[in-house]
Amino acid sequence: MKNEKKNGYLYSWEKAIHENNIRLTLEQEQAVLKAFSDAGTDLIAKIKKSRNGYLPKRIYKDYAYDLHAVLVQLMTEYSHKAAMNAVDGQVVHILQVLAEDGNATAEKFEKEVRAASLVFSRRAAEAVVKGEIYKDGKNLSKRVWSSAARAGNDVQQIVTQGLASGMSATDMAKMLEKYIDPKARKDWDFDKIAEKLGKPAAHKYQNLEYTALRLARTTISHSATAGVRQWGKVNPYARKVQWHSVHAPGRTCQACRDLDGEVFPIEECPFDHPNGMCYQTVWYENSLEEIADELRGWVKLRNTATSTLLKVIRLGSIPSLFVYKLSNFENLRKVVKCYPVML
């Protein structure tokens, strides 16, 4: 279903959340490039110290293992950051709306809501890292290993082919420096490599870190979407999400263009394709003023309840406020009756 209605209340926050996600993506890309550069520098040093440029196969495996460890760590870190950005952006917005009455209502909710956002953003990131959102069930470590192992094999092949073609270890090391270090890639001599190794090899080895960067971008995108979906489990007002296509020239596919503006039930929100740039935001059917009024009413109700009801009602670490719409005392009483052990 495509909904043409525009929720003007959330526009500035949607933009801020998306821009922050772009910033995280760019930061992560630089970290990935540095990981390849650092791993490559170590490998080149070993080649320079070797006899005639030949290295045992285990050296290339060590290169892949080391690269894998660093990439898994940084992609996991940014997965959590992206999920937290998606959830926390919604939290901050809700709290600001509530703060319009002089911060009293927001202060009462902030601790509970932020505690819930931490729990659910962590769950979102873990679902991506553990591969729970994918049909094949592959976790991040396995996906990164495919990229790191390929990089190790590519480096080994280019060294082997280069030496076999008559290149000296010194020339090979110099060429490899330009190949392995993304920052030096602009000096990559395609014609020279094509002459030595053939055009297919020159094309193949032009971008060593591409698959890793592709995976890194996808991980951030999917973590953000998972965060939005998890937010629906915290916030009873967040029941739908809207798809946004970026319409980047030569970058946005037709399928994504067709999805632009579509509104989905939050649990059915699709994940973007690998390397995608589209994003999703919560679609509130109630105005934020209506939501704020209802929550303020809940706070006033809670303040008139008995000392038992004044305690924070939690389902695990999830505030009951964001599990049920508690608009009257009877609803509050029912929740307390159902979960007395948490009081």
Amino acid at 277: M
297/291 Cα distance (integer angstroms): 10
pTM recorded for the entire structure: 0.78
Residue type, 304: T
pLDDT of residue 53: 67
**Among 130, 122, 119, 82, which residue's Cα sits nearest to residue 280?**
82
pLDDT of res. 263: 93
Which residues are within 8 A (CB) of 256 and not within 5 positions of it... i.e. 6 or more apart? 245, 272, 273, 276, 278
For CA atoms 201, 204, 209, 211, the dihedral sign is: negative
Compute φ and ψ for 280, nearest 5 degrees.
-130, 150
* Residue pair 237/254 in contact by the 8 Å Cβ criterion: no
Crossing angle for the helix pair 210-234 and 104-129, to the nearest 10 degrees: 140
> What's the rounded Cα separation, in Å, for the pair 172 and 54?
11
Residues with Cβ < 8 Å from 42, sequence gap 6 or more? 63, 66
pLDDT at 105: 57
Q: Describe the chain by its helix, strand, coil percentages, rounded to 5.
A: 70, 5, 25
Q: How far apart are CA 261 and CA 1, in angstroms?
A: 9
Phi/psi class of residue 253: alpha, beta or left (left: φ > 0; alpha: ψ in -120 to 50)? beta
Q: For each of the chain's 343 residues, which pLDDT tens digit applies?
A: 454 444 455 677 788 888 999 999 999 999 998 998 888 888 888 888 877 767 788 888 899 999 999 999 999 999 999 999 988 877 776 676 666 655 555 666 677 777 778 888 999 999 999 999 999 999 999 999 999 998 888 888 878 877 777 777 777 777 777 777 666 555 445 555 555 555 555 555 556 788 899 999 999 999 999 999 988 777 777 888 899 998 887 778 899 999 999 999 988 889 999 999 899 988 888 777 777 777 667 666 655 543 333 344 433 333 444 444 433 444 444 444 443 333 2
